[in-house]
Amino acid sequence: MTSYSEKINKLFYYWLILSFIMIFIMIIVGGLTRLTDSGLSITKWELFSGIFPPLSLESWNSYFSLYKKIPQYKLLNSNISLDQFKVIFYWEYFHRILGRIIGIFFLIPLIFFHFTGKINKSYLVICNLILALIVLQGFVGWYMVKSGLVNNVTVSHYRLSIHLSIAFIIIAMIFWVLKNIKTKKYINFFSNIRKSYYFYFLIFIVFLQIIFGAFVSGLDAGRMYQTWPLMNYTYFPDDVAIINIKDLFNFSNHSLVQFYHRNLAYIILIYSLFIGFFILKNNLPNLFKPYCVVMIVLLFQIVLGIATLISGLNIYLASGHQIFSLLLILSVINLYYRNIN
């Protein structure tokens, strides 16, 4: 007969799985909201009042009139109708509603699990941190939207990268706790094992690539050069002038950001092959399968990135490219977990 403690721990595990799935969906919806340029359609914070969508023509016209005041409408969408506005409105609306649902879904059960006293305290500490990041994510989301309401037709790519990074950190933390529960071990992410540093670097460059992916998305830098393997007819973009060292860190330069994003992909591929050599040389059979998963996801991700570029930024390919970036970081974390388990 299953004890009360076992039931609570099983419930805790299933709650984390559902949280993981919801945040995974949230990241997909967030990506589509960006790809459809819908993120600025709601120009007010509306933490509580925006729970329900507009229910009357008067309410719709009110939201539409507010949208007409921002640069995105004046410079890009001045010819859209109310019906067309509703499409981009609902993308942002569902993005915000899902964020609220995730917050409530994570908060209330977490309070319950605290009071049961049956859950490993280390897991609860991590979940408290995840909750804090979920709350922070809501504020960062609005901070991001604000950047596109006054002088720009889109949000700041720096703020977008922060917003996306927090989402990836949240889902990675949940994934790590789920791995611990599944293996019935408590393993810290940071390890002093020497061989772990090889995997730390892989995680780092993949995460850095995700940040540059956010830069490319936020700047629409993918529209600059839509050829591969060269950027038009050259390896380095011919419209970028490097006068001094600071020019190398001009992350607002569309062409330079795309150049970095491309070349980080090559670096990740080369380093991943090195990791494969490391695994074979040190005879680590427990890492063979998770390594193969990493390479399969990575190759799909590279193909999707190239296809997205040369297709003229097809929205389905672009969304798939973002989804596989999430699968890639999770598969790399899984490989690292197997390394120290």
Q: What residues does 234 pair with on adjacent strands?
A: 231
Question: What is the pLDDT, as a whole number, of residue 1?
Answer: 47
Name the amino acid, one letter, at 96: R
Helix axis angle for 82-116 and 121-146, nearest 10°, is 160
Question: What is the pLDDT, as a whole number, of residue 51?
Answer: 84
Q: Does residue 165 sit in the same domain as residue 307?
A: no
Q: Does residue 182 sit in the same domain as residue 193?
A: no
Q: Does residue 118 sit in the same domain as residue 193?
A: no
Name the amino acid, one letter, at 142: W
- What are the start-end ranges of the H helices in 147-195? 157-183
Question: What is the pLDDT, as a whole number, of residue 323?
Answer: 95
Q: Does residue 62 sit in the same domain as residue 149?
A: yes
Longest dimension (CA), the chain: 73
How far is the C-alpha of 115 from the C-alpha of 111, rounded, in Å? 7
Place of tokens 């062409």: 255
Q: Which two tokens stand for residue 102?
A: 């995730």
How far is the C-alpha of 27 from the C-alpha of 321, rounded, in Å? 12
Question: What is the pLDDT, as a whole number, of residue 244?
Answer: 92
How would DSSP label each residue in 17-82? HHHHHHHHHHHHHHHHHHHTT-TTS--S--TTTTSSPP-SHHHHHHHHHHHTTSHHHHHT-TT--H
Taking a C-beta distance cutoff of 8 angstroms, is the pair 210, 168 a contact?
yes
Domain boundary among 186, 209, 236: 186
Mean pLDDT by 10 residues, the chain (341 residues): 81 96 96 90 80 89 91 89 92 93 95 90 94 95 90 89 96 96 88 85 96 94 92 92 92 95 97 96 94 97 95 93 96 94 77
Question: What is the pLDDT, as a whole number, of residue 2?
Answer: 64
The domain in which residue 47 lies consists of 1-186
How far is the C-alpha of 137 from the C-alpha of 125, rounded, in Å? 18
For the entire predicted model, the pTM comes to 0.94
> CB atoms < 10 A from the CB of 334, how many?
18
Domain boundary among 186, 211, 235: 186
Q: Does residue 28 sit in the same domain as residue 129?
A: yes
187-192-196 Cα angle (round to 5):
80
Domain boundary among 129, 162, 186: 186
Q: Does residue 13 sit in the same domain as residue 161?
A: yes
How far is the C-alpha of 233 from the C-alpha of 331, rounded, in Å? 35
How far is the C-alpha of 277 from the C-alpha of 251, rounded, in Å? 34
Question: What is the pLDDT, as a whole number, of residue 176?
Answer: 96
Q: Does residue 164 sit in the same domain as residue 236?
A: no
How far is the C-alpha of 7 from the C-alpha of 12, rounded, in Å? 9
Q: Does residue 181 sit in the same domain as residue 280?
A: no
Q: Does residue 241 sit in the same domain as residue 145?
A: no
Q: Domain total for the chain?
A: 2
Q: Does residue 29 sit in the same domain as residue 164?
A: yes
pLDDT digits (tens, 9 = 90+) for 181-214: 999 888 888 877 788 899 999 999 999 999 999 9
Q: Does residue 179 sit in the same domain as residue 193?
A: no
Exposed/middle/buried for residue 293 (C-beta within 10 Å: 0-12, 13-18, 19+): middle
Q: Which two tokens stand for residue 12?
A: 């805790």
Q: Does residue 40 sit in the same domain as residue 54?
A: yes
Taking a C-beta distance cutoff of 8 angstroms, is the pair 325, 305 a contact?
no
Question: What is the pLDDT, as a whole number, of residue 85?
Answer: 92
29-31-34 Cα angle (round to 5):
110
